[in-house]
Structure 1
Amino acid sequence: MLYRNCIIRNAFGIILCSVMMGSQAFANVKEGSGKAMEPKEVQQQSIKISGTVSDDRGETIPGATVMIKGTTVGTTTDLNGEYSINVPNSKAVLEFRTIGYKPIEITVGTKRIINAVLYEDAQALDEVTVVAFGKQKKESLTSSITTVKPAELKVPASNLTTALAGSVAGMIAYQRSGEPGADNADFFVRGITTFGTNTNPLILIDGIELTTTDLARLQPDEIESFSIMKDATATALYGARGANGVILVTTKSGKNGPAKIQLRVENSISMPTQTIELADPITYMKLENEAVLTRNPLGQLPYSQSKIDGTIAGNNPILYPANDWQSMLMKDFTMNQRVNLSVSGGGGVARYYVAASFNRDNGLLKVDKRNNFNNNIQDNVYNLRANVNIDLSKTTEMIVRLNGNFEDYTGPLKSGSDTYKMIMHSNPVMFPAYYSATDANITTSHILFGGAVMGAEKGNFYTNPYAETVRGYQDKTRSQILAQLELKQNLEFLTKGLSARLMINIARLSQFAVKRSYTPFYYSMSTFDKATGRYTLNCLNTDGDGRGTEYLGFSEGDKVMTSSNYMEAAVDYNRTFGKHGVSGLLVFQGREEREGQANTLQLSLPSRNIGLSGRATYSFDQRYFGEFNFGYNGSERFDRKHRFGFFPSVGAAWVISNEKFFESVKNIVSNLKLRYSYGLVGNDQIGSSSDRFFYLSEVNMDTGGYTFGSDFKNKIPGVAVKRYANPDITWEVSRKQNFALEFGLFDKLNVIAEYYTEYRDHILMSRADIPSTMGLAAELRSNVGEASGKGVDLSLEYQQVFHKDLWASARANFTYATSKYEVYEESAYKEPWRYRVGTSLAQQYGYIAERLFVSDEEAANSPSQIGVGGTDEVEPARGGDIKYLDVNNDGVIDEKDMVPIGNPTTPEIVYGFGVSAGYKNFDFSIFFQGSANTSFWIDAGATAPFQNNTQLLKVYADSHWAEDHQDVYAVWPRLSRTKNVNNTVKSTWFMRDGAFMRLKQLEVGYSLPQKALNKMHLSNLRFYVSGSNLLNFSKFKLWDVEMGGNGLGYPLQRVFNIGFNLSFN
């Protein structure tokens, strides 16, 4: 009878109340009503208190327990998070509790409406963590899994991957481009430990393997859990796919209760974090003249003094053009919009979660009024998701998940990044962007683009970035449909703790693109009357293949069609016998993929793999935990003797804080745990996508050949081997080891410190010890490479509730990940510094630059630099050119003098830290992110001024070696108008420190008080302003340092955002 009264709709309330009050817990609670029934002595002078219980984001909490402190009188919140309770007097203290949140106490006093806000308790040992093919209590984990709160992934951007850097311990991440639709961040779990083809982690969303783009398009509002699996115990069940780590995402599902509607609307202003500063056109012309004279005093100057003077006067921009291509083609900022709507609820036998979202990201290209079409980037992404749980019976549950992601992209013919690079490689003073119509051209219906013929070849023109940008556009459409059916069956009628499930998933992806463009008419000025300012034009392309057109032509773009089918069947067992806990899991998986655009026999065949995975765990008295996992996978890519691989792992943990001898200090050290794991994980994603069957040769039966006969019309085709068969090629195998310490202080501060090692062998690579005299037509490859990695992950969380109106929290993450070559087959070198073994997998090689030569005489008396760059195009070095160190002292600077320079291109250190706080209805959060131990090389060839009409960077104009300013440490060496290999090869001269720290995110919000919400019939309404990439701290100033060597591309974006969240039942 007593336990019958404990049946409440929300299980959270049942468990908490049972723990707090024992079997009498609900003797005074009316079942499921949210109201309490008190003893008669309490009722005689009671005061009625009511209110709601919500979390710090304004979401109401059903099933939360509300108790009168010191009594057994209590209630639980209803499905809307509301409660009412009678208390004996104004001195009564109410306790609010629910699993996963810190309890709080509030004295009644004069209040009759008490709304309680609960904050997440990161130290809750009963917290459930998503693991491979299931869930485990956080306390029982022996593996390295980092769980990210979905709220921490909500950044004012449409790309989820941009939020990963610094937010996750163990994740190395960085972003190289800010172009809409092409702004995915690069991310690696514990860095890169292979020099094979695939370095990306396995991404699973609701158990289905998807791509980085799919993860980028995922809405944070739809995420229930986000986990990063790092060690072998966490990833071994994925066998041949888990060597690079696993990202596991679960989307939300419905819960019993009335329909709950949530809406998020955002509008943001996006602008470059930093733009490249160019020299003005006058300086450009003067220094290009200097570049000619400093190399050849008798050389012909490209610009006359009259042209320079006329440009300075600025009287006639047609005769003396001075184009600022960047301001002409690019806007200072753009506007973006994001909307997300979801409805969830359920009752009886079904629960549902349905969501729809729309993101519009616009580019920075200006829309020209002379065109009747929009060629700016506009990336519209639509997402629909429906997750429905249906109880077919008391023991059977069916889950249906449907997801559709649709993208409509419009943009320039070339990418936004290519447009920026085109601007950087276009002469600003050669011709105007366009001419106004003359009397002879008044009736033309096309734009009169400025142009100039390049060399003597007709139809080959210097680039006019304005013409190239506005002459057309492209449309891309991407559609992906995912349909998933899952059945869960409780088998406790056979034996307690036994269950089974079956999941089937079907995915279809299609993508196509079309390009529409015209050929510009290019004009040059043929005559000009200074008195009247009138001029005549000469069309440069009136005939031939390059003739201009006045209509949009059509060309097909890429077409992609793929399909995949996946099946997963599992049996799970979980049982407790006194102090002993045991569990077991056995999973079978099968996957098939087809490519619609296959162009070879091998690619036309469906790709298949199967696997069997298992897990067994044991625990004793919640103190000692052990775990064994394995993955047994088959891949069609390998010969029969290597087709299946077995990848086991073991893990153990000791929760010291649960020992009896620890009880005296547990009020200080609230948690102390040690973990260890070791295991093997594989990687079958080796070679290129065309390497389907390594054990078969690939032969081209129609290549080359010869002709014969009197008319030479008879042909015998040639035969060429494209790949030699190697039945010994097999998986990459990674041996991972992990040590971890977890501890908590005062139930407020939680720290996880981990040290890991990894050794990767059987890395596929080309053989370097096969002499060319063997006459092989293709390279030989085998699994001879080996690499290792090690590092440290640190995470820290702190939470403090000062009183009911004030709270604060802090978090920090630190990742240090290094790697090095252990075995790398390469040519035999006399110089030991040329070998890769012992260096980082992302190590750069180049020359050591000492300084610039003081004079021609010093250059002539120094080691010859003719061999720099391994080309015969190098002219003898002169004063002002870069002087390189002769490392091997042989009197010649060549490839033998190239050594490891700088830090790795991939950061070895990534970190992030931030604080959040709230006072009454206001909340605030700030987050910093940075990286270190990384270097990048300024591409001297791409930034060399004047060569191929490259623009002049202002920093080069301000600091370069000149006859009248012989600074041997200037930023740019002696100028040159033609290619100068000596000054553009990779060297320490242009190597820069890639370390930085940026203000990644800042947000301030205000939630309406409950009285106002009640009048509006809302559960929550919060307004907020936020920003990302607001400040950057770095030694490097030319462009945003996070872009690395891609600084001439589409810049990273600084975002200012305003939005609101609302929810109601």
Structure 2
Amino acid sequence: MNKNNRMSKRLLNYVIVLLVCLISSAESFAQGTKFQVKGNVTDASREPIVGATIKVKGTSQGVITNIDGEYSIDTRSNAILEFSYIGYVSQEVPVSGSKIINVTLQEEVSKLDEVVVVGYGTQKKISVTGSVSNVSTKEIAKIATPSLSNTLGGQIPGIVTRQATGEPGYDQASIYIRGFGTWTNRSPLILVDGIERDMNTINTEEVESISVLKDASATAVYGVRGANGVILITTKRGQLGKPKVTLRSEYAVLTGLRYPEYINAAEYAGLMNEARDNAGVANMAYTDEEIELFRNGSSPYLYPNVNWVDEVLKKNTTQSITNLNITGGTEVVRYFVNVGYTTQSGLYRDNGDNAYSTNSRVNRYNYRSRVDVNLTKDLSVELGVGGIIQNRNFPGKSQYDIFYAIRNTSPLAFPVKNPDGTPGASPTYLGNNPWGMTTQSGYETQNWNTLQGTFSARWDLSSLVTEGLSVSGRFAYDHYYSNNKQYYKDFEVKQYMGEDAEGNAIYNILRNENIKNVTLAESANRAIYYEVAANYDRTFGMHNITGMFLFNRRDYVNLRNTDRTGSVPYRRQGIAGRASYNYLQRYFAEFNFGYNGSEQFPKGKRYGFFPSVSLGYVLTNEDFWNRNWWISNLKLRGSYGTVGNDISSSTRFLYLTTMNMNVSAGYMGKEGNNYMAGIMEGQTGNQNVTWETAKKLNVGFDLGLFNDVVSLQVDIFKEKRDGILITRKTVPVLAGFSGASIPVGNLGKAENKGIETALEVKKRVANGLFYSLRGNFSFARNKIIENDEPKPKYEYQDARGRRIDQTFGLVALGFFKDQDDIKNSPKQTFQSTVRPGDIKYKDINGDGVVDEYDKVAIGDPRTPEIMFGFGGTVAYKNFDVSLFFTGAAKTSFFLEGATVYPFLNGEGTWNVLREVYDNRWTSETAATAKYPIVLNANSYNNYQTSTMYMRNGSYLRLKSAEIGYTFKGRLIDKMFMDNIRLFCNGQNLLTLDYIKIVDPESNNGVGNYPMQRTINFGFQINFK
């Protein structure tokens, strides 16, 4: 019995062991055998997809493909792999024991699932009913410039950019959206990651996307700041996968463009004689012998021949930009970090004898990081930190002073240097030696530090409250600090008079060297922003409803300003909301509003309500549209709403009346021989002052053809701007107001309307060939409705009904041929004597006299009404080539002032352009002349604004071009790199225009630092 029991126990033990083994085997079988899966991911053309994500379903484990589209991942035999890439349909593939899995991803049929950044959120492109355009960051990267604002010109329909100068540190572009409908502040609101910030503090390598909001539907949530449009810049964030390191470095040679070409000293001396002869002056300024001395250069100190442009400016300079970024992450944490360094030198010639540099120069370090953390499946936070550390260096004299001196100083005024090396001079010019002002007047350094911090959190309340509901918060702290040091001196000024009997130089001392001052200044500003928001997004069967409600506030304060008004914080706060509905992705309706307050206005008038409504209809989502296979997308949309502009004056608190203290003109009497300073009325307040309002209407459509290979976007818009802030012009002086004390009022009215369109063709064909073509066009025309000006004597001189910035001037009929022509023409009243060769003007009102009443609207506005851009990219296997052109039309440029008026302040003053010299009126050139006769004194008749000096400002510019080659393969792989790309690109490579003597984008003729052509060489390494 005992034996049987022992046998039974032994058998039971065997059974238990067997069961355990079976259970373990079953569990092992259920989990699958662990091994490595390899493969590649390609598109329909069998081209590798770089950066595709492969993830084990149900886990956070994932990898991305390399430059050849290859991947490898450790998993189990019964796992499911998820393959995904932006713009392609995701796939799930069971492993089923396969060790090699190759996948072909299909492009999404429509672009409508793309996510677009909009005001305070994102939307799928299909649901956007407003006018929103996006910039390709790939195209921006092809423009080698430290200023992000200079990359947008021509890239987006409706964007107008103007770069006034090319000087490092000051080369940012002014930006307008859809022209402008006001004559006050015209700049758009610019937000970086939802915070108002300077876009030029952002490096192009840090940018993920740029959205431009144009109509009221898109900008109403910004209320009182939305009238001029909004630019939203989103910085990069981490991507799922192992760490990816990218190094990009580029070096550029910059060449100055359109340097002014002036005549030489001999020509200048001869022109002075000609001017005297034309004026009937018997004595000539120079003899033939003296003119020959200027020409042959045998006595350069007494008879100099100076090209001041060449003495002050170099032909070329350099620029380098380097960026290193790291990105990666898991389902829990994702991160992006970028650091960069930019250095750019100016075109000024430096003096090697100084212990300091007087050339303009910018050195800038930029940094930015962004970390996203999913604390739970419902709660996520984000932390972003960025900023720049920048040092700028300039000559002791300003850009304006230096270029003014170049224009003002003739080639024979004095030598560049005296025999002893000191700056040349004369009693007329004293210290205005352009070379001396650039190299001997000291220097200025500017140190600028910016810190930008953002923290945000989002809590999904779907499981706690109701599906689709979430709340979020954001806090931002920005600090700006700068300190400037200016070491300024008056250099020694002495005139070389020749040599004495012993051969020693004789000088006339005009000014001794004087270290005038060393100025130290600092400034600090702080901005604090916070917002809280609730969002709702839920689908009920065939209906989708979304909503957003938000409160925000921003305080901006100057921490170093001791002025009473300047030290008061700038504060804005308000609420914004959005509600949208769509049915079956066919019919869309959206309501947006902003209710904002600004401390610029008096109590009771600080808040305003700015609503908008928009509708959309996607015809191609209708069942009946399936027959029209070649039209893949057709969406109609329209919007109407009201937005505002509260930055209509640089003066704060216009509702307050101010008094100016200790004003010498407001004397209170005399104490002995001294007048006692008193008080004087300053600003006259207006208790009814408020913001501008803009009522905007927009209708448009989006069209996609052949599975969106071709896409077209068209918008027609109209805006009526009311309440534009202007200084009263109809208030008579007898009412007690004059000059600065005249009160301002919201009396201006204007209209702006136009059309814009964007076309794009993208196609990837067989054998590794890809091409894309794109273009955009915009036309915007404004009109003044009311400007509070008294009605003029003649209706044709009324600015109402004309375009904003319309130029008024005389209509030139050519030049007077002879005295009979002068006698038989209307009397010209701008100077007492009129000569043959003077400009002949049209008598508009027919009264027999040409005077101020004959000035009419001439030409087009300086800001172009038409802007366009077009270009394309072709890529074949490892090669890629791209070109992009920008252009403008319906714009006029007026050549005025010293640019084209020889001897503006009397003979011997101002340089003379060769263009004017070669095309001036003489008895021999009367039939072909483009400029009037030259006289030895002011010729007020010839210096009037007129069509004589009007030029067509249209231009076509090769804005950028790039060629690149990407190296990849086993050798690169062994170097722990995915690929290396070498590229060469250029900016401002070719310009076709009608002006020639100055850049068509310039605002100030030849009086500014020149624009530059950039030839850039670089490489980008993507490490494993």
TM-score (norm 2): 0.90
Is residue 506 from structure 1 mapped to residue 506 from structure 2 by the alignment?
no
Q: Which amino acid aligns with 2:644?
A: G
Matches within 5 A, 1:655-670: 655-666=618-629, 668-670=630-632
Q: Residue 152 of structure 2 aligns to which amino acid in structure 1? A: L
Superposition RMSD in Å:
3.1
Q: Which position in structure 2 is the counterpart of 1:960?
A: 920
Residue 357 (1) aligns with residue 340 (2): yes
Give 1:279 deviation, angstroms: 1.9
| Counterparts in 2 of 1:649 and 1:741: CA distance versus 1, 3 Å | same
Q: Does 1:1005 align with 2:964?
A: yes
User: Relative to 1, partners in 2 of residues 1:518 and 1:241: Cα closer, same or farther, differing over 3 Å?
Assistant: same
In the alignment, the residues of structure 2 paired with residue 714 and residue 270 of structure 1 have an alpha-carbon distance, to the nearest angstrom, of 57
- 1:29, 1:798 → 2: CA distance? 50
Aligned to 2:642: 680
CA offsets, 1:857-889, max 9 Å, x none?
A: 4335533333x4xxxxx3422111111111112
Q: Determine if the alignment matches structure 1 residue 159 to structure 2 residue 159.
A: no
Q: Deviations over 1:509-540 (max 9, x none)?
A: 1223222233222222333479x9x4522142
Which residue of 29, 51, 63 corresponds with 2:53?
Answer: 63
Among candidates 427, 436, 461, match of residue 491 of structure 1: 461
Partner of 1:757: 718
2:190 is paired with a residue whose SS is strand
Q: Does 1:266 align with 2:250?
A: yes
Q: 1:548 aligns with which of 506, 513, 532?
A: 513
Residue 275 of structure 1: CA displacement? 2.4
**Cα separation, 2, equivalents of 1:680 and 1:712:** 61
CA distance in 2, matches of 1:789, 1:708: 53
In structure 2, relative to structure 1, the CA distance for the partners of 1:965 and 1:127 (3 Å cut) is closer
* Offset, 1:845: 1.1
**1:122-271 maps to which residues of 2 (within 5 A)?**
123-154=110-141, 155-196=143-184, 198-210=185-197, 214-271=198-255
Match of 1:41 in 2: none
Aligned to 1:921, which of 868, 878, 881?
878
In the TM superposition, residue 979 of structure 1 has moved relative to its aligned partner by 2.0
Residues of 1 paired with 2:332 and 2:417: CA distance?
69
Q: 1:768 aligns with which of 721, 729, 735?
A: 729
Residue 449 of structure 1 aligns to a residue in which SS? coil
Q: Are 1:935 and 2:892 counterparts? A: yes
2:266 match: secondary structure: helix
Separation (CA, whole Å) in 2 of partners of 1:1060 and 1:118:
30
Aligned to 1:992: 951
Correspondence for 1:277 among 242, 247, 261: 261
Please say if residues 59 and 1019 of structure 1, whose CA atoms lie closer than 8 Å, have aligned partners that are also in contact: no
Q: 2: CA distance between counterparts of 1:470 and 1:248?
A: 42
Distance in 1 (alpha carbons) for counterparts of 2:88 and 2:852 = 62
Give the aligned partner of residue 412 of structure 1: 395
Q: 1:602 aligns with which of 565, 574, 589?
A: 565
Matching of residues 456-467 of structure 1 within 5 Å: 461=430, 463-467=432-436
Query: Which of residues 710, 713, 721 in structure 1 aligns to 2:681?
Result: 721
What per-residue deviation string (whole Å, max 9, x for no partner) do you get for residues 255-310 of structure 1?
23222111110000100233222222221211122112211332x43323222112
Give 1:83's aligned amino acid.
Answer: Y
Letter in 1 for 2:425: G
**Mapped pair 1:347 → 2:316:** no
Of 80, 85, 89, the match for 1:98: 85
- Paired residues of 2:903 and 2:938 also in contact (CA < 8 A): no
Name the counterpart of 1:367: 350
Aligned partners of 1:833, 1:342: CA distance in 2, in Å? 60
Bigger shift: residues 653-662 or 422-431: 422-431
Q: For residues 712 and 119 of structure 1, what CA distance do their matches in structure 2 show? A: 92
Query: Secondary structure at the residue paired with 1:981?
Result: coil
Q: Answer whether contact 1:707 1:713 (CA < 8 A) is retained.
A: no
**Cα pair 2:899 2:913 within 8 Å, conserved:** no
8 A contact 2:532–2:552 mirrored in 1 = yes
Of 601, 604, 617 in structure 2, the residue corresponding to residue 641 of structure 1 is: 604
> Match for 1:846 among 790, 805, 809?
809
Higher mean alpha-carbon deviation, 1041-1050 vs 492-501, is at 1041-1050
The answer to whether the 8 Å contact 1:50/1:85 transfers is no
**Aligned with 1:906 (options 844, 847, 863):** 863
SS in 2 for 1:1013: helix
Match of residue 882, structure 1, among 815, 833, 839:
839
Q: Describe the shift of the 1:771–1:707 C-alpha distance in structure 2 as closer, same or farther (beyond 3 A).
A: closer
Contact 2:900 2:916 in 1 (8 A): no
| Residue 642 to residue 333, structure 1, CA distance change in 2 (3 Å) | same
**Which 5+ residue runs of structure 1 have no aligned equivalent?**
1-27, 37-47, 67-74, 87-93, 105-111, 438-446, 455-459, 869-873
CA distance in 1, matches of 2:854, 2:46: 60
Q: Could you tell me how far apart the structure 2 residues matched to 1:806 and 1:966 are?
A: 59
Q: Is the 8 A contact 1:909 1:933 kept in 2?
A: yes
Q: Deviations over 1:388-433 (max 9, x none)?
A: 1122333221211111112211111234454334222211112211
How far 1:841 moved relative to its partner? 0.9
Q: Residue by residue, what CA displacement relative to the aligned partner does 1:160-183 show, whole Å, maximum 9, x if unpaired?
A: 212211101121223232221111
Q: 1:327 to 1:400 in 2, by over 3 A?
A: same
Distance 1:305 1:749, change over 3 A: same
Aligned to 1:468: 437
How far, CA to CA, are the matches of 1:384 and 1:677 in structure 2? Answer: 40
State the match for 1:397 in structure 2. Answer: 380
Query: Which residue of structure 2 aligns with residue 450 of structure 1?
Result: 424
Q: Verify the 8 A CA contact 1:145 1:230 in the aligned structure 2.
A: yes
- Who is 1:72 aligned against? none
For the Cα contact (< 8 Å) 2:764–2:771, is it kept in 1?
yes
Residues 955, 971 of structure 1: 8 Å contact kept:
no
More divergent stretch after superposition (821-830 vs 735-744):
821-830
The one-letter amino acid of 1:621's match is L
Q: Specify whether residues 737 and 424 from structure 1 end up closer, same or farther in structure 2 by C-alpha distance, changes over 3 A only.
A: same
Residue range with higher mean Cα deviation, 180-189 or 387-396:
387-396
Do the aligned partners of 2:302 and 2:498 also contact (CA within 8 Å) in 1? no
Distance 2:274 2:136 in 1: 58
| Cα distance in 2 between the residues matched to 1:413 and 1:115 | 66
Q: How many pairs does the alignment contain? A: 968
1:798 aligns with 2:761: yes
SS in 1 for 2:112: coil
Judge conservation of contact 2:41–2:52 (CA < 8 Å) in 1.
Answer: no
* Aligned partners of 2:65 and 2:71 also within 8 Å: no
Q: Secondary structure at the match of 1:420?
A: helix
Q: 1:34 & 1:701 partners in 2: Cα distance?
A: 85
Distance 1:151 1:170 in 2: 20
| Paired residue type of 1:754 | D
- SS of corresponding position for 2:292: helix
Give yes or no for the alignment of 1:569 onto 2:532: yes
Distance 2:674 2:46 in 1: 82
CA distance in structure 2 between the partners assigned to 1:32 and 1:798 by the alignment: 48
Aligned mates of 2:485, 2:705 — CA distance in 1 = 60
For 1:77 and 1:32, locate their aligned partners in 2 and report how far apart those are by CA, in whole Å: 20
Distance across 2 between alignment mates of 1:130 and 1:115: 34
Q: CA deviation at 1:724?
A: 2.0
Matched-pair identity in %: 34
Distance in 2 between residues matched to 1:31 and 1:517, nearest whole Å: 79
What is the aligned counterpart of 1:480 among 434, 450, 453? Answer: 450
- Whole-angstrom CA distance in 1 between matches of 2:887 and 2:35: 48
Partner amino acid for 2:300? P
